[in-house]
Amino acid sequence: MIEAQRRVISGWGRTSPILASVAQPDLVDNVGSIVRNSSRIVARGLGRSYGDAAQVGGGLTLDTTHLDRILSFDPISGVVEVEAGVSLDHLIRMLAPRGWFVPVTPGTRYVTVGGAIASDVHGKNHHAVGSFGQHVGELTLVTADGSLQTASATSNERTFWATIGGMGLTGVILRAKIQLSAVPSAKIMATTQRSGDLDSLMSDMSAIDADVPYSVAWVDTTTRGKRFGRGLISHGDFAEKSDIPANVNPFDLGLPDSVEIPVNLPAVTLNRATVAAFNELWFRKAPKRASPMLTSLADFFHPLDMVGRWNRIYGRPGFVQYQFVVPDDGAELIGKSIRAISATGGASFLTVLKRFGPANEAPMSFPMEGWTLALDIPARIDGLDRVLDKLDEKIAEVGGRVYLSKDARLRPELLSTMYPRLGQWQEARRELDPAGTFTSDLATRLGI
């Protein structure tokens, strides 16, 4: 039996740290026995869930990051089978030079495949290809009695869709087969264009998404009046070899080493003045006339990965990433939420807007057709919880929801409204885990 170690862990927002018992198996054969001997357990990957989804006070946290082998890869079909602790960073480094890219990537490549499935992560291409779970051909799960279940969209479907977006509460994802995307190069032909206000930004983005597979918008939340909600839209696709200069290797990844923030910065570092100044510089550095430019994978998909432990810029209090999605007829909440959060004095350093395509079959998957907004807000702001509680209610009223992988504070009574198939998911979970062995601080807080 692997001996658990005691260490302090938290989500990426660092708002709910706990002293946890952590076991780190390096062989898949050990996982079943660990689960069988546990009464409360949750799997954890690279710790990029922002809240309390990958920790369990009074229980055991199973660190999967040593279960990180690529088991097989078919260079003809692009299907790769991996252990769940493999990171998207590793897959990109290994397979992008061979002309294959992960089908969906969130804003960081430092997430495990198991975490990407459990959170059903989305990327800049959701409007075109959906979320990560839709590209999983098969997964293998360690259930509460330590046995294995294999599931796919066509076999053992109930377990499969309950696990996609199931926040690790159906079992430990052990391995998975993923359908990668063939790409003509490892470079991006990207365009960045300015939009002078929020209405223009959303209108421009709706038009752009009809023609491009990847798009995202950055929103300036510090502007007022006619410039309220101005922003930049970045969109593009993988570059064709004909777009790349002859002296440039089209499959050179060019992934830079990150520069790490060594210590927690003073909590006052990010204030309204400093964020406004940064936003002005960021907006002005974009060209006035939009034109396609060749750029790297890191610049386009994962710019924050260039700064290691960037969450330290918020200081010891940490930060809340508030992400929600609303249907098109609730789009007015995008602007209202920015105004409400700004009124607290909290300035969002990074605010991202995207379009989602249709939802998939997973009852607890976050994406649904409409608009999603993500704001990073210092946790020290007075009155922030009250403002977010009121926004939660409005979002639920229009049929929207918050992202559980980012959440650290949602009131449990709103969960079933935001996720109307919650009961269906709970039935599937009870069949897999009648005693509730798989749990987390998030599950306890929300009563699921």
CA–CA separation, 256 vs 446, rounded Å?
A: 39
Do both 178 and 193 map to the same domain? no
CATH code: domain of residue 89: 3.30.465.10
Residue 211's domain spans which residues?
187-411
Whether residue 24 is contained in a domain is answered as: no
Q: Are residues 105 and 247 in the same domain?
A: no
Q: Partners of 355 in the beta sheet? A: 371
> Do the domain assignments include residue 311?
yes
Q: Residue 366 domain-assigned?
A: yes
Query: How many independent structural domains does the chain possess?
Result: 2
Asked whether 298 and 256 are in contact (CB, 8 A), the reply is yes
How many Å apart are CA 238 and CA 213, to the nearest integer?
9
For 167-253, strand residue ranges (E) read 172-179, 181-182, 187-195, 214-219, 231-238
436 assigned to some structural domain: no
**Rounded to the nearest 5 degrees, what angle is found at the Cα of 269, between the Cα atoms of 311 and 225?**
100
For residue 193, what is the domain's CATH number?
3.40.462
- For residues 233 and 355, membership in a common domain is answered with yes
Kindly state whether residues 350 and 224 are assigned to the same domain.
yes
- Three-state DSSP at 369 gives coil
Predicted pLDDT at 1:
63
End position of a domain, from candidates 156, 183, 210: 183
pLDDT at 266: 85
Q: Which of 440, 443, 444, 447 is nearest to 40 (CA)?
A: 440
Does residue 350 share a domain with residue 244? yes
- Is 95 in a helix, a strand, or coil? helix
Residue 106 forms part of a structural domain: yes
Are residues 101 and 215 located together in one domain of the fold? Answer: no
Q: How far is CA 389 from CA 105, 296, 349, 367, 384, in A?
A: 29, 39, 21, 21, 9
CB contact at 8 A, 80 and 177: yes
Cα gap 28→25, rounded to integer Å: 7
Torsion-angle region of 58 (φ positive above 0: left; ψ -120 to 50: alpha; else: beta): left
Same domain, 134 and 273: no
User: Residue 442 falls within a domain, yes or no?
Assistant: no
Q: Which string of DSSP letters, residue by residue, matches 140-173?
A: EEE-TTS-EEEE-SSSSHHHHHHHTTSTT-S-EE
Which letter does DSSP use for residue 87 in this model? Answer: B
Based on the fold, state whether residues 192 and 179 are members of the same structural domain: no
Q: Do 175 and 197 belong together in one domain?
A: no
Q: What is the DSSP letter of 282?
A: H
Domain boundary among 148, 183, 218: 183
Nearest alpha carbon to residue 213 among 118, 290, 105, 119: 105
Report pLDDT for 262: 86
Q: What is the pLDDT of residue 318?
A: 93
- 99 touches 203 (CB < 8 A): no
Mean pLDDT (10-residue bins), the chain, 448 residues:
89 96 92 95 98 97 98 98 98 98 98 98 98 98 96 98 98 98 98 96 95 96 94 97 95 87 82 85 85 94 94 92 97 97 85 98 98 94 94 98 97 98 98 97 97
47: left (phi over 0), alpha (psi -120 to 50) or beta: left
- Same domain? 294 vs 145: no
C-alpha–C-alpha distance, residues 288 and 291, integer Å? 9
One domain, residues 157 and 294: no
Last residue of a domain, one of 163, 183, 203: 183
Share the mean pLDDT of the chain: 95
